[in-house]
Amino acid sequence: MDGPLRFRFYGASPATTVILYLLYSTFQAQNMDRRIHILGVGNIGKYIAYALAGLSQTRTTPSVRLLFHRKSLVTEWEKAGCAIEYTPLDQDCCTSVKPGQTSYAHDVQIELLYDRESQEAEAAEGPIRNLIVTTKAHNTITALAPLRHRLDKNSHILFLQNGMGVTDEVTSALFRDPNSRPTYWTGICSAGVYSRGPFSIVHAGPGPLRFGADNDIAGSVAGGPLGSRKMHGGRRITVLEDALLKAHMLRPQRLSPGEILQAQLTKLVINSVINPLTALRGCKNGAVFADEEGDRDRRILVQEAGAIVRELLQQSTKTSPGATLSDSELLTAVAGVAEATADNTSSMLQDIRAGRPTEIDYINGYLVRKAELLNLPCQRHKELVAEIKEKEKEMAKENEEPKEDRDGGAGGNLPATL
Ligand SMILES: NC(=O)c1ccc[n+]([C@@H]2O[C@H](COP(=O)([O-])OP(=O)(O)OC[C@H]3O[C@@H](n4cnc5c(N)ncnc54)[C@H](OP(=O)(O)O)[C@@H]3O)[C@@H](O)[C@H]2O)c1
């Protein structure tokens, strides 16, 4: 046994040394298991980090660790005083900070993963048990690949991104073997957050964070991997789940696999209508259905998407009692979000304006791929994918001098909840 021999405990016999070493390793492992890593330090990543760092400190409170994918972030972090600056704008933002006032989270660790510029490899930092991915959907595989060797079946990954289809890609690119695959969680964040500096966020619109495991994990977690501990009713709760549920400012809601799937599909339909139409028309969310053309598009898009998501719900083994997702429910949901976010600029329009790639492949693109498999009509969504891709190219050309929106992230300085 190599480990204990490297340790010297004064006056301890070899047997005591081994026992002390085992206790020390267990303590170390538990500390590592209580870390929550955040990958994608943009608007949502900083928002979640701020909320988790604010949990009242007890022996079991997890530590929050931001994973930096470029060295310049370390300099920016130091310039920001090694803290996340947070400003809520709305009094419904569920925080003790008053609207317009500013607060700081200092209790945040950082880790430089990989330096894109110099191609330096990361320092070894041990396994990752709890990871929240908050990159844009299309950056997920590139972002996760360097962490692959630190993730295994005892890890939990919460994907907090718009769109669908990312977990299938992650499985096929990184975790083909089910025996070593982490537990996936899906989150839907309805808050509107934007940045006004590299580590300064504005919480512009309140909204819940709904999340759930992709499959019913009660059984697997009850096996008791180090990342879990007992809560109530004999059920074990993961460190990640526990922390999110305690972070009241996130307005957390834990959903069953069936409920989270239904919520994801509903959000997908809403995004697939509002995002591309606002991006192509260059208008705010509230103006997108104001004319006849917008209204007609909305109906066609919901009709196509509705048939697909209902079929997906039906084929899923995850049951959600009462899940119907009728066209009229979906039309009401789309209209409700457009109205509630009337003054907002959708994230897709912001991306188009900044010459950045959009998440179209994970929104309308996902629906088109599923429609082909299910042999269902999806013509208007297909057209929108092509039109957005054309627009992306056009705007990227226009922004030939690449806009390094280092201090704005995708949200820029505009609130986006879609
Ligand atoms: N903002 C909102 O209010 C809001 C609300 C609901 C849902 N969402 C969804 O949440 C997700 C995140 O949105 P966001 O607004 O936070 O986006 P964002 O501000 O662009 O943040 C994404 C972050 O990921 C980083 N990243 C890119 N490639 C990476 C890599 N290979 N490794 C590690 N990090 C990488 C980006 O860094 P660089 O600066 O280097 O590119 C950026 O900091 C999206 O799916 C979005 O649609 C956002």
pLDDT digits (tens, 9 = 90+) for 163-177: 999 999 999 999 999
Q: Whose CA is nearest to atom 4 of ligand 1?
A: 417
Two structure tokens written together for 140: 């997920």
Identify residue 301 by its one-letter amino acid code: L
The whole-number average pLDDT for the span 233-258 is 89
CB of 206 closer than 8 Å to CB of 251: yes
Find out whether the beta carbon of 416 lies less than 6 Å from any atom of ligand 1. Answer: yes
Sign (positive or negative) of CA dihedral 352, 356, 361, 363: negative
pLDDT score for 410: 35
Pairwise CA distance, residues 118 & 397, whole Å: 27
Which tokens hold the place of 127?
Answer: 């396994």
* Contact 408 CB / ligand 1 (< 6 Å): no
Q: Which atom of ligand 1 is nearest to the CA of 204?
A: 3
Ligand 1 in contact with 85 (CB < 6 A)?
no
Strands 103-105 and 84-88: antiparallel
SS3 content of the chain, % helix, strand, coil (to 5): 45, 15, 35
Residue 414 alpha carbon to ligand 1 centre in Å: 14
Q: Are 242 and 33 in contact (CB under 8 A)?
A: no
Q: In this structure, which long-range contacts are made by residues 227-233, counting pairs with CB atoms below 8 Å and at least 24 apart in sequence?
A: 227/33, 227/129, 227/130, 227/154, 227/155, 227/156, 229/60
The residue among 268, 243, 232 whose CA lies nearest residue 58 is 243
With beta carbons less than 8 A apart as the criterion, state whether 70 and 116 touch: yes
First-last CA distance in the chain: 54
Question: What pLDDT, on the 0 to 100 scale, is given for residue 223?
Answer: 34
Distance CA(267)–CA(416), nearest Å, equals 14
What pLDDT sits at residue 224?
37
Contacts of 356 (CB under 8 A, 6+ apart): 403, 405, 410
pLDDT score at 219 = 39
Residue 299 has pLDDT above 70, yes or no: yes
Q: What is the pTM of this model?
A: 0.88
Report the separation in Å between the CA atom of 161 and the middle of ligand 1, taken as the mean of its atom positions. Answer: 8
Q: Determine the residue type at 240.
A: L
pLDDT of residue 400: 76
Residue 94 has pLDDT above 90, yes or no: no
**DSSP state for residue 256 in the 8-state scheme:** -
In the predicted structure, residue 222 carries a pLDDT above the cut 50: no
At CA 312, angle to CA 219 and CA 258, rounded to 5? 30
Residue 111: exposure state from Cβ atoms within 10 A (0-12, 13-18, ≥19): middle
Beta bridge partners of 108: 64
**Once rounded to an integer, what is the mean pLDDT over residues 338-352?**
95
What is the rounded average pLDDT of the residues 48-70? Answer: 90
Ligand 1 pocket test, candidate residues 47, 135, 147, 190, most atoms within 8 A of CB? 135
Question: Domains plus CATH for the chain?
Answer: 16-255 (3.40.50.720), 259-398 (1.10.1040.10)
The token duo for 206 is 């309140």
Question: Which of 277, 270, 276 shows the shortest CA–CA distance to 340?
Answer: 270
Least confident of 133-142, 157-166, 222-231, 393-402: 222-231
Which pLDDT score, from 0 to 100, does residue 411 have?
39
Question: Residue 196 in contact with residue 412, Cβ under 8 Å?
Answer: no
In 273-407, at which residue ranges do the beta strands (DSSP E only) sit?
none
Cα separation, 339 vs 289, in Å, equals 10
Find the radius of gyration of the CA atoms of the chain: 22
Residue 122 pLDDT more than 60?
no
Quick count: other Cβ atoms within 10 Å of Cβ 190? Answer: 18
Task: Identify the helix (H) or strand (E) that includes residue 271.
Answer: helix 257-281
- Asked whether the predicted pLDDT for residue 82 surpasses 90, the reply is yes
Q: Among 44, 67, 110, 114, say which to mutate for ligand 1: greatest number of ligand atoms within 8 Å of CB.
A: 44
- Give the pLDDT confidence score for residue 338 in this predicted structure: 96
Cα 308 to ligand 1 centroid, rounded to whole Å: 28
Measure the CA–CA gap between 32 and 27, rounded to whole angstroms.
9
Distance, CA 134 to ligand 1 centroid (Å)? 5
What is the average pLDDT score of the chain? 86
- Give me the mean pLDDT over the 139-143 stretch: 98
Confidence of residue 23 (pLDDT cuts 50, 70, 90): low
